[in-house]
Structure 1
Amino acid sequence: MKRVLAIILLVLVALYGQAISPTMAQSGDVTITKIRIEGAQRIDPATVLSYSSLSAGDTVSRSSLNRAVGRLFATNLFEDVSIGLDGTVVVIEVLENPIINRISIEGNDVLPDEQLLEFIDIKPRRVFTEKVALDTKALLMEIYRQFGRYAAVIEPKIIKLPDRRVDLVFEIDEGPLIKILTIKFIGNDAFSDRALKNVIGSREAKWYIPFGTNDKYDANRLSLDTQKLRQFYLQNGFANIDIVRSTGELLADRSGFVLTFQIREGGEYPVKSVTVNSEIEGVDTDQLLEISTIELDELYDVRRLEETLSLMTNKLGEFGYAFVDLTPDIQVNNEDTTLDIIINVGAARKNYVEAININGNDRTLDSVIRRRFELVEGDSFNQLKLTLSERNVRNLGYFSKVSVDVVPGSSGEQSVVEMNVEETATGSFQLGFGYSTFDKASLTFGINEANFLGTGRGARASISLSDKTTNFRAGITEPYLFDRNLVGSVDIFQDSIEYTSVELEKKGFDFGLGFSAADDYRHRIGYTLADTETKTTSTTALSESGDEGAKLISEVSYTLTKDKRDSRIDPRRGYLLQLRESFAGLGGDSTYLKTVIRGQYFKPLYFNAFVIGLDGEAGYIDGLGENVTRSNRFILGGRKVRGFESGGIGPRDAGDNSAVGGNQYYVASTNLTSDFGFDKDLGMRWTAFVDAGSVWGTDYPNNVIKPDDDSLRSSFGYGILWDTVIGPMSFVWAYPIDKESHDEAKVFQFKFGGRF
């Protein structure tokens, strides 16, 4: 037996020596004289040679040839690779990976092909490997999980075609939508499960809430919910709150998810003291403490601490310190279960604005934005002016997002202001309809472009139609007339209103010049020239309007506005005060002095969860020795006192019951608006309101119902404000509370707008 084994061993050695050539047999290394590539079809042999890193003249060993095989496999171009020696000739034999001919998805109903193919990172004509199929499957599974389809099954199928091509097919069983069935809290003694469920964004699935996405399990939302819970406890005195763990577990039968939050609450801590330590020489810490919103002896609330830090940072910014480090140190007194809050202000130097960079304005001209800045390069840094600049740019309404960052400049005393904006559609249209006892059905359409060709110029037109009225407006605005702080505007208008016995037509134009001054004051001087004509269409009307025949109105006006609102588009805090004086008598057929005052106030409640708005307005017109005609009086109702039609309040003609208006009026409104209770993803808010007002007084009292009756009219109502992908919608229902028998109501209003 031993002799047989020895003979076999000798034969193998002889064969090996012949295969690798005498040089390899003796030394184990071979000097390459030539390299031959076999099996390459689509791929150039030179490319194969380059990837192998082998060259004629190289001395190679078995291990170096194995490394060359590894390099070729690493390219993912080849299904199989072998390297052998034919004497001193290296033979590289490859089998190329197939090419993807077509990618298709089958069995998907919830997510369309286009959406899925957009997510995956493979395209036809790409090299196919098994890893490509598995990675794509994993990506598709993750996409379905994000849409709540945790039971989805995805199988990649490979269909081989001639010429080393394959069709890649993903067969999908989407499975049922798996939602959150239960949300559990462990360790919550201070707050009930129900209270904590209202804090987090995730929701338990309910059959009566078919829309929304918050009842789908989302790992990112779970992480956010953990932060919300922690923040909630920190807002209610629990300075040592610890969310031990938060988990989302899929039930064994895959029927749904269970979310579990384990909480270690700690105790409630009132604030005992607040102190400020500053390393900036000359800063009055008492002045910083005066703006603190932290209340002593009240439970600790992290929101008040954050607000205080923000106010102090801004105050230091007003002093010229762009980069300040405020660090709160919260010390717990276990003996009396209180907190001491120490705010440490780090050392800083005054700064100057080195540069202002504006990013993201692909459409809007740079100059349109820069002219809204309160700062220019070279100015001393001032946080208040920077905040006002950010507000000014946001108030333009051209951008969906506006943010400002201050970064260090070329030296320690220089700052660079980086403003980042995101353009939004500035063209819009509005479509609305309503119903009233006077107008019956009414239709309103308006179109507006606020930033024409990125220049900041505005153009607008609107028309309102009903059985009784026709109103048309068109105008343009130049926001920086003559390259100065002047706003110029021109509008033309034509109005027609048909009462039972009288038809009133008014047409003309309005020209205005406005400018802004310090401390948020705006001034506007306007001139209106209008031609009015009144026609009697029947003998039903009994009162005298004073408008009979054609009259020319020449009116000059002045408007003073102080606007401290944080936004003109969607204000949440601040106030507006406005005074308008109009004088007619510079030519024309009418003489009067008209005064209108208006005020608004907005305040966020419960840390921005709600916004309360107060709005008041009053007006008076004096004929300066002449009688004030119907067309120049005030009309009340409609948008000012909801629940009544336009002109539905006040003195009326004893014959046809049409509104004759009044020489004086007042109106007040309280609004509460919030998205509380709505899924954040829906973009919906609700509003509740109470309106009140009255209009009275006429210089033609004969045959007028209650011409001097200033009785209060009031209404209450509610509405839904919905910001949809196609534009904002509003649905408003209003109901009169105090109403005279001759007043006319209007319960429902709908308005729709779009963007372009």
Structure 2
Amino acid sequence: MVSVLRVLFATLMTIGLPAIASAQQTGPETAEPAVEAPAPLPVIRQILVEGNQRVEVDTVLSYLVIQPGQVADERLTNLSIHTLLATGLFSDAQIEHRGEIVLVRVMENPIINRVVLEGNQAIDDDKITDEIQAQPRAIFTLARAQSDVQRIIEVYRRSGRFAATVTPKIIEQPQNRVDLVFEISEGPVTGVRRINFIGNESFSDNRLRRELVTRESRWWRFYGSNDNYDPDRLEYDRELLRQFYQNRGYANFRVLSAVAELTPDQDSFYITITIDEGEVYNFGTVTVSTEIQDLNEDYLVALLPVREGDIFRGELIEQSIDSLTFAAGVAGYAFVNVRPVTQRDRETRTVEVEFVIDEGPRVYIERIDIAGNTRTLDRIVRRELDIVEGDAFNQVLVDRSRNNIRRLGFFEEVELEETPGSAPDRARVRVQVTEQPTGELAFGAGFSSTDSFLVDLSISERNLRGRGQFLRFRVSVSGTRETIDVRFTEPRFLDRNLAAGFDVFRVNSDFLSEASFQTASTGGSLRLGFPVTAQANLQLRYTLRNDDVQVYSTASQALRDQAGSRVTSVLGYTLNWSRLDDPIEPHNGFRFQFSQDFAGFGGDVRYVQTEFSGSYFKGLFGDVVASFNMNSGFILPWSGDSVRINDRFFKGGSSFRGFEVAGVGPRVVTRDDTTGELVRRDALGGRLYAIGSLEVNFPLGLPEQYGVRGSVFTEFGTLGLLDEGDQIDEVTGQLFTVDDLALRASAGVSIFWDSPFGPVRFDFAQAFMREDYDKAEFFRFSTRTGF
């Protein structure tokens, strides 16, 4: 206790002594003049704002750090000035203290009245304005203008113009507005004079140049820009070289450097690419390991496109990852991570690959957002999704949903993107679509060697009122047929997964010059379709029509017996099955269609008609796609009836390139008594046909924006199989052409062009296997436009 008192006493003495000393020094005998204390800072009572024209006073006050009721502090004043200038609204700001009043003077930055580009001829205004920040009614600052100058120069550098210069100018306008003018001197195009390679031993320079996007400048490459130097494109070329070598076994390939040197005349670049090829490797042991019990490792290895002993190809590893991810998704494990672990053996020059499959954490879909559908209703897009909120995220279902939406044909682009949700196990799916014209004004025309001309005009809307409904009105006129029809389809009848619709038609067919008959068909049909599986659907239909057949008096007795009016009542179905990787532009997969029609449920005609069509697509390399197509049909009468000529199959034109419409198959043939030449008369059609084609579709090397592609094809098939009574004229006993189902074949090329006024197709075909009585056609074209 005593020690504590001592400590307190010492403390008090320490504190008190200076005070006592101070008091003694200020006594009457030793007093000195006192130092005057600084005057207290005034308290801000009011803040006034001057110089603002567009910006409200309250907005200016909101940016200030000093406020009424605070003591005027120089540090806070300076901070307020910096805050005002940092907003970008003002070019100058000053704050003056007048006692209890603070005066804030500001000078607003001008507003951009308009942005003008001068001197740009090689690049459109839109491409430049999309890159720069300056826009009408935006705030002008010198820093932003200089930033836009650099952006414009970068646009020109990407187009190969490295000498381009940009000078910004300001034209003052009333009301503190300015016109911002960018004066552009484009300069010459900086091309690529030469591309050289160093270190390549297995492939020549010319072979490697073909793998690059960058091209050497040549006079004939005026249509593209790939012969202009672009550093970003050169980086992409490095990756293309890596893929090229690694897909040919060079597992250790490296691009050591890629140097571009500007020529002294600053007209073009020399590009030198130094590479290290390395050695050729083969695949060694390929295994799959996983701790997921439901996945059989041996089964997964069998699914891989990689085999031990094959030449190493980097793309096969990527394909293997996709195959394993898909297989795990089908098995119910959508959240897997496939890691390829490679080990190179330099002595044996093999690459051992182990695919490790780990089950990732489950993620659930919290929300699905749909964006970009300015016309199509949300529910039209949403009903095509195979995923809903609350489901576990499944990449397989996401990819399938994307194809479902693309299959609608309403959108130019469809992207499904996963973004993080409100929790680690939550995700949002954003469906981003870009609308495209769904209304179509279609015009088609065809021309044959016998002056047969076709005009096809139709107005259709595939997305009526944004509800996904289809409506078409079509008028088709040719030398042989006049058609008027109306078609309507509701894809989700009664809000169920049922596609219902109807057709009303009037068709006048004039085959007097080909087969000595003409028909007038009037009727309608009802349709109902529904999915059978995820990749297959079934369509049911009922058609009722009246056919009025008129026959030339010079026709055979068999045809004259078919003249008159008859009612046909047909009940049919069509099964569609598709496993295409892309419903619009397939590269791999197949599609299959099988249909049958049964006539005789009422009416005057009885037959069973069966048709089949199938296509198989296989991507060869790059954007080159091969396809095989097969179409066949057979019609069988029943209950003692015969197949009338208007129900038979007639092929040619677009259905068998190289031959005219109805140019293939049985035909009435006579010989001129004077010259002995063969005279081709009426086509008779047939009850059986089978037509196949092989086609390779490829780009023509033009820039993608031109939309020009080509294909080479060959088509082969037969048509015939008439009843004996239809082959012999009962009155004259004349024998028609021999109906032996002879094989026909043709070959040719096609050119597809997405022209500014719509897609155009040109077909050039030569029939090299044909009968003397067939009619060939060398050229055919068609076009249409959309709205």
TM category, shorter: 0.7 to 0.9
Q: Could you say which residue in structure 2 is the equivalent of 1:151?
A: 163
- Deviation track 1:232-257 (CA, whole Å, cap 9, x = no partner) reads 22212122222223344443422123
Label 1:287 to 1:439 Cα distance change in 2 as closer, same or farther (>3 A). Answer: same
Which has the larger displacement, 427-436 or 287-296? 427-436
Label 1:145 to 1:361 Cα distance change in 2 as closer, same or farther (>3 A). Answer: closer
Q: Could you say which residue in structure 1 is the equivalent of 2:742?
A: 711
Q: Could you say which residue in structure 2 is the equivalent of 1:611?
A: 625
Distance in structure 2 (CA, Å) of the matches to 1:726 and 1:471: 25
Q: Is the 8 A contact 2:285 2:352 kept in 1?
A: yes
Q: Find out whether 1:576 has 2:576 as its counterpart.
A: no
Q: Find out whether 1:634 has 2:649 as its counterpart.
A: yes
Q: Find out whether 1:317 has 2:329 as its counterpart.
A: yes
- Secondary structure of 1:243 counterpart: strand
2:368 pairs with one of 353, 357, 360: 357
Q: Find out whether 1:505 has 2:520 as its counterpart.
A: yes
The runs of 5 or more residues in structure 1 that have no matched partner are: 1-24
Q: Find out whether 1:750 has 2:761 as its counterpart.
A: no
Q: 2:343 is aligned with what amino acid?
A: Q
Q: Could you say which residue in structure 1 is the equivalent of 2:635?
A: 621
Q: 1:202 is aligned with what amino acid?
A: T
Q: Is the 8 A contact 1:400 1:423 kept in 2?
A: yes
Q: Is the 8 A contact 1:35 1:92 kept in 2?
A: no
2:530 pairs with one of 515, 523, 535: 515
Label 1:540 to 1:156 Cα distance change in 2 as closer, same or farther (>3 A). Answer: same
Distance in structure 2 (CA, Å) of the matches to 1:547 and 1:112: 66
- Secondary structure of 1:642 counterpart: coil
- Secondary structure of 2:784 counterpart: strand
Q: Could you say which residue in structure 1 is the equivalent of 2:581?
A: 566
Q: 2:190 is aligned with what amino acid?
A: I
- Deviation track 1:483-530 (CA, whole Å, cap 9, x = no partner) reads 334322311222223223543322222222222213634323322222
Q: Could you say which residue in structure 1 is the equivalent of 2:485?
A: 473
Distance in structure 2 (CA, Å) of the matches to 1:320 and 1:374: 15
Label 1:361 to 1:40 Cα distance change in 2 as closer, same or farther (>3 A). Answer: closer
Q: Could you say which residue in structure 1 is the equivalent of 2:665?
A: 650
Q: Could you say which residue in structure 2 is the equivalent of 1:21?
A: none
Cα deviation, residue 689, structure 1? 0.7
Q: Is the 8 A contact 2:368 2:389 kept in 1?
A: no
Q: 2:696 is aligned with what amino acid?
A: L
Label 1:152 to 1:544 Cα distance change in 2 as closer, same or farther (>3 A). Answer: same
Q: Is the 8 A contact 2:335 2:394 kept in 1?
A: no
Label 1:183 to 1:546 Cα distance change in 2 as closer, same or farther (>3 A). Answer: farther
Q: Could you say which residue in structure 2 is the equivalent of 1:7?
A: none
Label 1:35 to 1:185 Cα distance change in 2 as closer, same or farther (>3 A). Answer: farther
Q: Could you say which residue in structure 1 is the equivalent of 2:153?
A: 141
Q: Find out whether 1:187 has 2:175 as its counterpart.
A: no
Cα deviation, residue 444, structure 1? 1.8
Cα deviation, residue 549, structure 1? 2.2
Distance in structure 1 (CA, Å) of the matches to 2:372 and 2:49: 56
Label 1:622 to 1:438 Cα distance change in 2 as closer, same or farther (>3 A). Answer: farther
Q: Find out whether 1:685 has 2:709 as its counterpart.
A: yes
Q: Find out whether 1:228 has 2:234 as its counterpart.
A: no
Q: Could you say which residue in structure 2 is the equivalent of 1:243?
A: 255
Matched pairs, number: 729
Label 1:96 to 1:113 Cα distance change in 2 as closer, same or farther (>3 A). Answer: same
- Pairing of 1:303-452 with structure 2 (within 5 A): 303-348=315-360, 357=368, 359-360=370-371, 362=373, 363-373=375-385, 387-404=399-416, 419-438=431-450, 440-452=452-464
Distance in structure 2 (CA, Å) of the matches to 1:733 and 1:261: 43
Label 1:249 to 1:30 Cα distance change in 2 as closer, same or farther (>3 A). Answer: farther
Distance in structure 1 (CA, Å) of the matches to 2:400 and 2:320: 19
Q: Is the 8 A contact 1:32 1:90 kept in 2?
A: no
Q: Could you say which residue in structure 2 is the equivalent of 1:552?
A: 567
Cα deviation, residue 297, structure 1? 1.0
Q: TM-score under structure 1 normalisation?
A: 0.85
Which has the larger displacement, 394-403 or 272-281? 394-403
Q: Find out whether 1:263 has 2:278 as its counterpart.
A: no
Q: Is the 8 A contact 1:691 1:715 kept in 2?
A: yes
Q: Is the 8 A contact 1:439 1:469 kept in 2?
A: no
Q: Is the 8 A contact 1:433 1:443 kept in 2?
A: yes
Q: Is the 8 A contact 2:42 2:99 kept in 1?
A: no
Q: Find out whether 1:591 has 2:615 as its counterpart.
A: no
Q: Is the 8 A contact 1:183 1:260 kept in 2?
A: yes
Q: Could you say which residue in structure 2 is the equivalent of 1:733?
A: 764
Q: Is the 8 A contact 1:84 1:92 kept in 2?
A: yes
Q: 1:675 is aligned with what amino acid?
A: P
Label 1:168 to 1:413 Cα distance change in 2 as closer, same or farther (>3 A). Answer: closer
Q: Could you say which residue in structure 2 is the equivalent of 1:106?
A: 118
Q: Is the 8 A contact 2:192 2:216 kept in 1?
A: yes
Label 1:646 to 1:84 Cα distance change in 2 as closer, same or farther (>3 A). Answer: same
Which has the larger displacement, 453-462 or 47-56? 47-56
Which has the larger displacement, 321-330 or 524-533? 524-533
Cα deviation, residue 80, structure 1? 6.1
Q: Is the 8 A contact 1:354 1:377 kept in 2?
A: yes
Cα deviation, residue 557, structure 1? 1.9
Q: 1:622 is aligned with what amino acid?
A: L
Which has the larger displacement, 370-379 or 737-746? 370-379
2:216 pairs with one of 199, 204, 218: 204
- Secondary structure of 1:580 counterpart: strand
Percent pairwise identity:
33
Distance in structure 2 (CA, Å) of the matches to 1:636 and 1:734: 15
Q: TM-score under structure 2 normalisation?
A: 0.82
- Deviation track 1:688-716 (CA, whole Å, cap 9, x = no partner) reads 11001121233422356415132211111
- Secondary structure of 1:322 counterpart: coil
Q: Could you say which residue in structure 1 is the equivalent of 2:11?
A: none
Cα deviation, residue 667, structure 1? 0.8
Cα deviation, residue 554, structure 1? 1.9
Q: 2:739 is aligned with what amino acid?
A: D
Q: Could you say which residue in structure 1 is the equivalent of 2:298?
A: 286
Structure showing greater Rg: 2
- Secondary structure of 1:226 counterpart: helix
Q: 1:346 is aligned with what amino acid?
A: D
Q: Is the 8 A contact 1:29 1:59 kept in 2?
A: no
Q: 1:671 is aligned with what amino acid?
A: E
The runs of 5 or more residues in structure 2 that have no matched partner are: 1-35, 671-679
- Secondary structure of 2:203 counterpart: coil
Cα deviation, residue 445, structure 1? 2.2
Which has the larger displacement, 125-134 or 87-96? 87-96
Distance in structure 2 (CA, Å) of the matches to 1:582 and 1:736: 32
Label 1:652 to 1:33 Cα distance change in 2 as closer, same or farther (>3 A). Answer: closer
Q: Is the 8 A contact 1:107 1:174 kept in 2?
A: yes
2:288 pairs with one of 276, 292, 297: 276
Q: Is the 8 A contact 1:320 1:381 kept in 2?
A: no
Label 1:214 to 1:658 Cα distance change in 2 as closer, same or farther (>3 A). Answer: farther
Cα deviation, residue 207, structure 1? 1.5
Give RMSD over aligned pairs. Answer: 3.8
Label 1:379 to 1:191 Cα distance change in 2 as closer, same or farther (>3 A). Answer: same
1:670 pairs with one of 684, 687, 694: 694
